[in-house]
Amino acid sequence: MSGTTTDYDSAPDSEFESELAHDDPYADPADDVVRTEPSKALVWLLAIGALIGLVASATLLIERIMLAEDPGYVPSCSLNPVLSCGSVMVTDQAALFGFPNPILGVAGFPLVLASAMAMLAGGRLARWYWLGLQLGVTAGMVFISWLAYQSIYTIDALCPYCMVVWAVVIPMFWYTTLHNLRAGHLGAGLARSGLTRTLRDYHLLGPVLIYVVIIGAIAIRFWDYWSTLL
């Protein structure tokens, strides 16, 4: 096995993985397509991303509590008419399920962080656990996409701490999905597909495009304000 695969344990540990490992039409002797274990890079991404997301969510929750106690309180992330957490916090979108949205981050990010720490310590996650992580990061991606749209086009204000959460959820979703595709957790056919191989070869393209779309939308929507700063 070449140096590019030292972060993976490519030995199949079940009949499902054994089936994937044989007769792979896209197999490269120097770089196996099917990998049952995540790379160290992915594990560190999950650990660092979850830690950053937790800090941002907890800070936002504290700011929300302080605003609830004192309606005249100005949150530390209310910097100008556009970058204004206070304007976002008081909207219905900021409590979609009847409680402040940051509670979801405070509850969810520690689970991802604990999972990453377990893997860094040598633990190995079962397929069902990876599917659970996939469900979690997918739900997070859908949620932050909706929040981004609401902030940009409905609320007309941006929450800096919220954008930190957006920034970490995007790569966590993307690379968890890519790992699950390659490991066959989402199906043997997808693991062998040309789509998965292409996503692997151009893995940076996805998150970069998402960032560009969001930044472009922000730049265009609030251009009247940004132009006054030039």
Q: How many CB atoms lie within 10 A of CB 157?
A: 20
pLDDT score for 230: 77
pLDDT of residue 59: 96
CA gap 109, 120 in Å, rounded: 16
> Does residue 76 surpass a pLDDT of 50?
yes
What are the structural domains of the chain?
34-225 (1.20.1440.130)
Note the pLDDT tens digit of each residue in 159-183.
999 999 999 999 999 999 999 999 9
**In percent, how much of the chain has pLDDT > 90?**
75
CA distance 217 to 153: 9
pTM of the complete model beyond 0.75: yes
